[in-house]
């Protein structure tokens, strides 16, 4: 997507030194746009764990490039395979919920170790696979946009001329959460670009405020009309007919259509069900965990540091020319806090899944209709 007139992805290889991964440091947005160099696996792991990059597809894309760096580093170790596998484990252990991370690392391991060639050849394969993972993620998100656009067009057709379609989204499943385009935002960008009047309700998404900080920045950069709301507002808006559809992303989707997404998504799905508002989840198939069905029981939910709840950061309003963010405490000093980062929305609350191959029902049958190559696993179980 464009930033200040220049085209960016969220992760790429440096033009100056093709052995270095570069990312947009998302912790700094929306106040500063900063590129960070990741020259080592250690740096890549830190960037994922500490959320310099975040969002399922972006984490997967970064891990793909991280495995290329891992292959470069492993080339200096006495045992290439052992070193590569150790670095792969280091990357996989950074964040537990988004399945794209393990998917990308496993794909790299299979490609690199499946190569009949010397270490030079294996490094080349690692680089090609990293580029392929990134290109595929961008292309799949672009196609999600095309399929989701049809849903928005159908709603727009029921509106008076000029009346906007109101979409509610949670967290950031935008281009920052992927390599490009985004999942939940791809249909929104496509509709906006097609000239359909559209307005987005942006959940702020405490505790880390990915909605208020990242989605608002993204949508504003693309000229999409939007309004940030506190996380508890969505139900009220739905009761008053102010939301036409909800589109969220997902960090892991089971083969039966349960979706794990940023904490608070489940409550939005309940409110949508109660108010007859369509609730769609947009995802590339790299986010599907084909090995599991019951999301509530089987998806590990990341618990993060309590300070993300007890503290908050932002720009001091009155400081002149001061671009440094300040962190303040929100709670009494000794208050304890819990920080569950994701929740699971059962498939029964999901109207449909928007994937790169089209829109399907959130059920095993619906998903396998679009992805029949995964049927066999189901029959074997
Ligand atoms: O903790 P994060 O920011 O990595 O969480 C991921 C998300 O941004 C959301 O859950 C998103 O809706 C899905 S990621 C494509």
361 and 252 in a common domain: yes
pTM for the model: 0.96
Point out the domain boundary residue: 96, 114, 136. Answer: 136
pLDDT tens per residue, range 152-187: 999 999 999 999 999 999 999 999 999 999 999 999
Q: Is 205 a pocket residue for ligand 1 (Cβ < 6 Å)?
A: no
- Domain containing 31 equals 2-136
156 and 113 in a common domain: no
48 to 45, 55, 176, 281: CA distances (angstroms):
5, 10, 13, 23
Pick the atom of ligand 1 nearest to 170's CA: 12
116 and 154 in a common domain: no
Q: Is 284 a pocket residue for ligand 1 (Cβ < 6 Å)?
A: no
Give me ligand 1 centre to Cα 281, in Å: 12
107 and 175 in a common domain: no
Catalytic residues: 251
CA-closest residue to ligand 1 atom 14: 55
Total domains present in the chain: 2
101 and 25 in a common domain: yes
Point out the domain boundary residue: 104, 120, 136. Answer: 136
Please return the burial class of 319, using the count of CB atoms within 10 Å of its CB with bins 0-12, 13-18 and 19+: exposed
Strands 279-282 and 245-248, by their bridges, are: parallel
CA angle 305, 349, 288 (to 5 degrees): 65
CATH number of 148's domain: 3.40.50.10470
187 and 45 in a common domain: no
CA-closest residue to ligand 1 atom 12: 249
pLDDT of residue 47: 98
Using H for helix, E for strand and C for coil, what is the string for 176-237? HHCCCCCCCHHHHHHHHHCCCCEEEEEECCCCCCHHHHHHHHHHHHCCCEEEEECCCCHHHH
pLDDT of residue 174: 97
311 and 185 in a common domain: yes
CA-closest residue to ligand 1 atom 6: 55
CATH number of 80's domain: 1.20.120.420
Q: Is 341 a pocket residue for ligand 1 (Cβ < 6 Å)?
A: yes
Q: What is the Cα–Cα distance from 155 to 244, expressed in whole angstroms?
A: 8
189 and 129 in a common domain: no
236 to 77, 164, 239, 241, 270: CA distances (angstroms):
58, 19, 5, 9, 12
Give me ligand 1 centre to Cα 251, in Å: 6
Q: What is the Cα–Cα distance from 31 to 46, expressed in whole angstroms?
A: 22
Give me ligand 1 centre to Cα 80, in Å: 33
Q: Is 177 a pocket residue for ligand 1 (Cβ < 6 Å)?
A: yes
Q: What is the Cα–Cα distance from 286 to 303, expressed in whole angstroms?
A: 23
Give me ligand 1 centre to Cα 177, in Å: 7
368 and 306 in a common domain: yes
95 and 23 in a common domain: yes
Give me ligand 1 centre to Cα 321, in Å: 32
CA angle 173, 176, 178 (to 5 degrees): 70
CA-closest residue to ligand 1 atom 10: 262
293 and 255 in a common domain: yes
Q: Is 54 a pocket residue for ligand 1 (Cβ < 6 Å)?
A: yes
Pick the atom of ligand 1 nearest to 51's CA: 4
Give me ligand 1 centre to Cα 60, in Å: 12
87 and 149 in a common domain: no
Q: Is 210 a pocket residue for ligand 1 (Cβ < 6 Å)?
A: yes
Point out the domain boundary residue: 106, 136, 166. Answer: 136
Q: Is 94 a pocket residue for ligand 1 (Cβ < 6 Å)?
A: no
pLDDT tens track, the chain, 381 positions: 899 889 999 999 999 999 999 999 999 999 999 999 999 999 999 999 999 999 999 999 999 999 999 999 999 999 999 999 999 999 999 999 999 999 999 999 999 999 988 999 999 999 999 999 999 999 999 999 999 999 999 999 999 999 999 999 999 999 999 999 999 999 999 999 999 999 999 999 999 999 999 999 999 999 999 999 999 999 999 999 999 999 999 999 999 999 999 999 999 999 999 999 999 999 999 999 999 999 999 999 999 999 999 999 999 887 666 668 999 999 999 999 999 999 999 999 999 999 999 999 999 999 999 999 999 865 544
Q: What is the Cα–Cα distance from 111 to 122, expressed in whole angstroms?
A: 8
């Amino acid at each position: 997507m464009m930033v200040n007139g220049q085209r960016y992805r969220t992760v790429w290889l440096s033009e100056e030194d093709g052995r270095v991964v570069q990312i947009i440091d998302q912790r700094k947005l929306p106040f500063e746009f900063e590129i960070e160099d990741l020259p080592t696996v250690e740096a890549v792991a830190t960037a994922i764990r500490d959320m310099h990059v975040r969002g399922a597809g972006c984490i997967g894309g970064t891990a793909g490039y991280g495995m290329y760096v891992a292959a470069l580093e492993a080339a200096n170790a006495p045992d290439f395979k052992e070193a590569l596998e150790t670095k792969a484990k280091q990357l996989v252990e950074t964040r537990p919920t988004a399945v794209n991370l393990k998917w990308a690392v496993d794909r790299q391991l299979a490609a690199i170790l499946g190569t009949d060639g010397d270490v030079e050849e294996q490094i080349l394969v690692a680089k090609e696979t990293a580029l392929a993972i990134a290109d595929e993620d961008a292309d799949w998100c672009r196609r999600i946009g095309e399929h989701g656009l049809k849903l928005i067009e159908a709603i727009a057709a029921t509106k008076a001329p000029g009346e906007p379609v109101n979409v509610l989204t949670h967290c950031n499943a935008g281009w920052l959460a992927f390599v490009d385009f985004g999942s939940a935002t791809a249909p929104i960008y496509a509709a906006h670009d097609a000239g359909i009047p559209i307005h987005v309700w942006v959940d702020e998404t405490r505790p880390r405020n990915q909605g208020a900080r990242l989605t608002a920045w993204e949508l504003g950069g693309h000229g999409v009309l939007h309004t940030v709301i506190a996380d508890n507002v969505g139900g009220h808006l739905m009761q008053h007919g102010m939301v036409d559809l909800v589109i969220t992303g997902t960090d892991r989707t089971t083969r039966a259509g349960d979706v794990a997404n940023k904490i608070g998504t489940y409550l939005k799905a309940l409110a949508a069900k109660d108010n007859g508002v369509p609730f769609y989840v947009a995802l590339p198939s790299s986010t599907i965990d084909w090995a599991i069905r019951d999301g509530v029981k089987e998806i590990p939910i990341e618990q993060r540091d309590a300070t993300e709840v007890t503290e908050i950061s932002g720009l001091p309003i009155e400081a002149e020319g001061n671009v440094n963010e300040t962190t303040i405490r929100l709670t009494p000093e000794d208050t304890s806090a819990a920080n569950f980062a994701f929740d699971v929305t059962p498939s029964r609350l999901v109207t449909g899944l928007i994937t790169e191959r089209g829109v399907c029902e959130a059920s095993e049958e619906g998903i396998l209709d679009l992805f029949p190559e995964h049927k066999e696993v189901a029959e074997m179980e």
